[in-house]
Amino acid sequence: MIYRFKISFEDEEDFERWIDVKTNATFYEFHNAIQDTLLFNKKEDAVFFVVNDNWKKLKEIPVPADNPKDANCTIASAIMQPYQKFIYVADKTMEWTLEIELNKILDETLGVVYPHVFKSIGKPPRQSGLLLSEEELAQEMEQIEAGSRAKLDLELPGLGDVLGDDDDDEAKEDSDDYNLDEFPDLGDIDEIDFSKED
* Domain positions in the chain: 2-127, 134-176
CA dihedral (44, 101, 118, 35) in degrees, to 10, reads 0
Instruction: State the pTM of this model.
Output: 0.62
DSSP reduced 3-state for 69: helix
Query: For domain 2-127, which architecture applies?
Result: Roll (3.10)
pLDDT for the residue 115: 95
Backbone angles phi, psi at 71, to 5 degrees: -90, 55
Closest CA to 125 of 4, 10, 5: 10
Instruction: Give CA–CA dist 36/17, Å, rounded.
Output: 11
Please report, in angstroms and rounded to a whole number, the separation of the first and last CA atoms in the chain: 84
pLDDT for the residue 174: 47
pLDDT for the residue 124: 79
Instruction: Give CA–CA dist 143/141, Å, rounded.
Output: 5
Element spanning 172, H or E? helix 169-174
CA dihedral (59, 65, 71, 75) in degrees, to 10, reads 80
Lateral strand order in the sheet of 96-106: 57-63, 46-51, 85-91, 96-106, 2-9, 16-22, 116-121
Q: Which residues of the chain have pLDDT under 70?
A: 128-141, 143-198
Instruction: Give CA–CA dist 86/63, Å, rounded.
Output: 14
pLDDT for the residue 121: 92
Furthest-apart CA atoms within the chain: distance in Å:
89
Backbone angles phi, psi at 160, to 5 degrees: -55, -35
pLDDT for the residue 158: 54
Partners of 88 in the β-ladder: 48, 98
HSE toward the beta carbon, residue 170, CA cutoff 13 A: 1
